[in-house]
Amino acid sequence: MPLESPLAESLYQGVNTLENFDIGIIGGGPAGYTAAFSAAKQGKKVVLFEKDFLGGVCLNRGCIPTKTILHSSELYRQSLKSADFGVNIENVSIDYNKVIERKNVVIERLRKGLELAFKNLKIQVVNSEAKILSKNEIEANGEIYNCGQIICAVGSSPRVVKGLEFDHEFLLSSDDVLELKKLPKGILIIGSGAIGIEWARIFNNFGVDTTVVELASNLLPLADIDVSKRVERIFKTEGIKFYTASTVDKIEDKKIFLSNGDVVEPEIVLVAVGRKPNETEKIEGVKYIGDAAGEIQLAHYAIKQAYEEIEKIPFRKDLTPSVVYGSPEIAWVGKREQDLAPEEYKKSSVLVSSLGKAQCDGETEGFIKLLVQKDKIVGAHIVSSEASALLEQILIAMQFGISAESLKEVCFPHPTYSEGIFESLFRMK
């Protein structure tokens, strides 16, 4: 293979050239392992490089551990309210060490499943940092791997903000907070995206004094305005304090001075202002997917990118769903009401409290909101128990252009939360 740069030439010295592979993949997260599995099932010879653990951010430091801890927090909160359902539980308490132990067990179980899949598909895994030398060469452990195609899926890291640099003791990243040994008495969360909202719910469920600071004028600023307002109402009801249109001016002696003049004194601070793609030199001819692509940083988006690259199955990026977990779930896809002119659309909104299943479950908070243009659903915004599952029903209709009028022909089971979709179709105005 001809060398394409002085960098490649310098790295070539002292290394051995190994066998050829059809595809070389750097990064073992959702984008990387999906691409590897898909290519291997096509009979391609695949090598994957992962310097840390298989599963990437999602499995090891993101989606899975966060939702595992969130579930424990919700069980605790539900236990405190069990008497309302005629179930008396005495001496309910939290063993946070066991919460973390369970989180680690879940991660390990899923990781072993991935490792077995790699073994069964005969995918070579190299546990090492890797360097792309050219569009066909990867260097790792002093050896060069020749690859017909290279996919780079190196993931992302917590974003660092000037003045809020992580010290991993008082100022924590979303990685750090997963390793807490005990619950703090009070926490300040900076940022109210999915990470900030979910951790606010976790700590509040566990009885921690929780405060959120958001730069935008509403919490969860990427959501539909009605969703943002409902989240704010829920936070007020649950005792989560929050500041919008506010920033941190300075930090002195663990006192947080806000731009609105207030001072907060938490035990710890979680800086949850998003993630940035891990830095890597962009090389022409190499495919970058997942968080490394710098597009939508969601595991399901990364998985679809991998299938698009390997299986050539296209997908509509504008119909990538968003979900914020907790009780109630928050989910949306498509256009937001604040982005549309009043004469451009029709809408409907059904309160979850009107649904029989919600009353049975005691999960009455939220709504199902649909936006329609020319009889096609163009936006769905849900705050409800099972919102993620409800959204997928609507998303299928949106994906395949099924009209709102045609959906009325579908028989929805009773009693379910999905009835709210059916009812909303008849309330469109």
Yes or no: say if 141 and 128 are a contact pair by the CB < 8 Å rule: yes
Question: What pLDDT sits at residue 13?
Answer: 53
In the predicted structure, residue 11 carries a pLDDT above the cut 50: no
Burial of 248 (0-12, 13-18, 19+ CB in 10 A): buried
Domain 6-61+96-156+276-310 matches domain 160-273 at the CATH topology level: yes
List residues bridging with 384 in a β-sheet.
Answer: 329
Q: Which two tokens stand for residue 216?
A: 């935008």
Which pairing describes strands 346-351 and 367-373: parallel, antiparallel, or unpaired?
antiparallel
Cα dist. 244→219, 268, 399 in Å? 7, 20, 35
Question: What pLDDT sits at residue 281?
Answer: 86
Give pLDDT tens digits for 414-425. 999 999 999 999
Question: What pLDDT sits at residue 129?
Answer: 94
Q: Find, among 382, 376, 387, 385, the residue nearest to 428 by Cα.
A: 376
Which range is least confidently modeled, 13-17, 45-49, 146-150? 13-17
Question: What pLDDT sits at residue 17?
Answer: 62
Cα(47)–Cα(40) distance, integer angstroms? 10
Give the residue-averaged pLDDT of 94-112. 97
Question: What pLDDT sits at residue 340?
Answer: 96
Give pLDDT tens digits for 320-339. 999 999 999 999 999 999 99
Question: What pLDDT sits at residue 279?
Answer: 85
In the predicted structure, residue 403 carries a pLDDT above the cut 80: yes
In the predicted structure, residue 10 carries a pLDDT above the cut 50: no
Question: What pLDDT sits at residue 212?
Answer: 98
CATH number of 6-61+96-156+276-310: 3.50.50.60
Cα(184)–Cα(191) distance, integer angstroms? 19
Give the residue-averaged pLDDT of 313-325. 97
In the predicted structure, residue 3 carries a pLDDT above the cut 90: no
Yes or no: say if 383 and 228 are a contact pair by the CB < 8 Å rule: no
Distance from the first to the final alpha carbon of the chain: 64
Q: Average model confidence (pLDDT) for the chain?
A: 94
Report percent pLDDT > 90 for the chain: 94
Give the residue-averaged pLDDT of 206-228. 98
Q: In the sheet where 255-258 sits, what is the strand order?
A: 248-252, 255-258, 263-264
Give pLDDT tens digits for 349-372. 999 999 999 999 999 999 999 999
CATH topology of domain 160-273: FAD/NAD(P)-binding domain (3.50.50)
Report percent pLDDT > 70 for the chain: 96
In the predicted structure, residue 4 carries a pLDDT above the cut 80: no
Q: Where are the domains of the chain?
A: 6-61+96-156+276-310, 160-273, 328-425
Cα dist. 158→176, 248, 249, 297, 388 in Å? 10, 18, 21, 12, 25
What are the backbone dihedrals phi and psi of residue 180, each rounded to the nearest 5 degrees, phi first? Answer: -60, 135
In the predicted structure, residue 46 carries a pLDDT above the cut 70: yes
**Residue 18's pLDDT band (boundaries 50, 70, 90)?**
low
**CATH class held by domain 328-425:** alpha beta
Question: What pLDDT sits at residue 16?
Answer: 66
